[in-house]
C-alpha cells in the first residue's frame, strides 16, 4: 500500500490537499494519521478520536471518467466500502445513514468526508476522507451515540491492517463504478439504508414530519413517505434525523 503516515495532522484531508498542491499522487495513495487536531465530518461537524485508537485516513482517487453531476456516487461507494469492511467483523445490523454516516444498530461507527477538485465538467481528483472507530472505548455524548469495533467485539484491531483491508474494499467498489455498475451500487446502498421502512420523526425542509424512508434515488436524493401517502424528497441539508 502506497501510504504516508503522520503521528499528528490537522486532518488527513487537509494533508492530502497540501500534498496534491505540490505533486501528483497516484490513484489509491493513502494519507493516514494517529491523531487529527481538526478532524471534521460533513458540513463542518467535529470528529472526535482518541490518539492511536481509530482509523483516520484519506484516499486519493482520480475519477476523470465521472461527470461532475454524478460525483455523489463517490459518497455511495465510500459508504458501501465502509459497510463492506465492517461486515467482515460485525455480521449484523451494519447500515448506511444517508448521506454520509455508517451505523451499527442505532450507534454511529464511521463518517465520511469527500472533497473533490473539479476542472470543467470532470473531477480532477477526489479525496475520500474516512473515520472509523476501531479501538476507542469511551466517547463523549453524541446524537446519535458513538460505538467502535472494540465495543462491539471486545477485540483490539491492528490499525495498519485495517487500513490495508479498507483500501481494498474501497478500490473494489471504485472498480464497480468504473465498470458502469451504477444500478448494482444503488441497489446495494438501498439494501443497507438506515431506518428504511420504519416510521420515525424527522425535520424535513424545516418542518416536522413522521415518515418512513423509502429509498435513495439514482440522483442522490432521499425519499420518505408518511402514513397518508405524502412523499418527501430531500437533498443534502434538507433532512434532519431525530434520535430522542
CB-CB contact of 67 with 73 (8 Å): no
Q: Burial level of 237, CB count in 10 A (0-12/13-18/19+)?
A: exposed
For the packed helices 182-191 and 72-87, what is the interaxial angle rounded to 10 degrees?
A: 60
CATH T-level assignment (fold) for domain 3-191:
BirA Bifunctional Protein; domain 2 (3.30.930)
199-241 CATH: 2.30.30
Task: Delimit the domains of the chain by residue range.
Answer: 3-191, 199-241
How many angstroms separate the CA atoms of 145 and 114, rounded? 23
> pLDDT digit of tens for each residue in the chain (244 aa)?
689 999 999 999 999 999 999 999 999 999 999 999 876 555 455 556 778 899 999 999 999 999 999 999 999 999 999 999 999 999 789 999 999 999 999 999 999 999 999 988 889 999 999 999 999 999 988 878 999 999 999 999 999 999 999 999 999 999 999 999 999 999 999 999 999 999 999 999 889 999 999 999 999 999 999 999 999 999 988 999 998 6
Q: What is the pTM of this model?
A: 0.94
Amino acid at each position: 500500500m502506497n501510504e504516508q503516515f503522520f503521528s499528528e495532522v490537522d486532518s488527513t484531508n487537509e494533508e492530502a490537499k497540501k500534498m496534491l498542491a505540490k505533486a501528483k499522487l497516484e490513484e489509491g495513495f493513502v494519507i493516514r494519521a494517529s491523531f487529527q487536531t481538526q478532524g471534521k465530518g460533513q458540513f463542518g461537524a467535529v470528529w472526535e478520536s482518541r490518539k492511536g485508537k481509530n482509523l483516520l485516513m484519506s484516499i486519493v482517487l482520480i475519477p476523470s471518467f465521472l461527470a461532475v453531476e454524478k460525483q455523489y456516487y463517490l459518497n455511495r461507494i465510500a459508504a458501501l466500502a465502509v459497510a463492506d469492511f465492517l461486515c467482515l467483523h460485525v455480521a449484523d445490523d451494519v447500515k448506511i445513514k444517508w448521506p454520509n454516516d455508517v451505523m451499527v444498530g442505532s450507534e454511529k461507527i464511521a463518517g465520511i468526508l469527500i472533497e473533490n477538485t473539479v476542472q470543467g465538467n470532470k473531477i480532477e481528483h477526489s479525496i475520500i476522507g474516512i473515520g472509523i472507530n476501531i479501538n476507542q472505548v469511551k466517547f463523549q455524548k453524541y446524537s446519535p451515540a458513538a460505538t467502535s469495533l472494540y465495543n462491539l467485539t471486545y477485540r483490539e484491531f491492528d490499525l495498519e491492517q485495517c487500513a490495508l483491508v479498507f483500501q481494498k474494499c474501497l478500490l473494489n467498489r471504485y472498480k464497480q463504478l468504473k465498470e458502469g455498475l451504477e444500478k448494482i451500487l444503488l441497489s446495494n446502498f438501498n439494501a443497507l439504508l438506515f431506518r428504511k421502512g420504519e416510521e420515525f420523526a424527522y425535520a424535513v425542509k424545516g418542518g416536522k414530519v413522521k415518515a418512513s424512508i423509502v429509498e435513495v434515488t439514482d440522483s442522490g436524493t432521499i425519499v420518505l413517505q408518511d402514513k397518508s401517502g405524502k412523499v418527501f424528497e430531500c437533498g443534502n441539508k434538507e433532512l434532519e434525523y431525530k434520535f430522542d
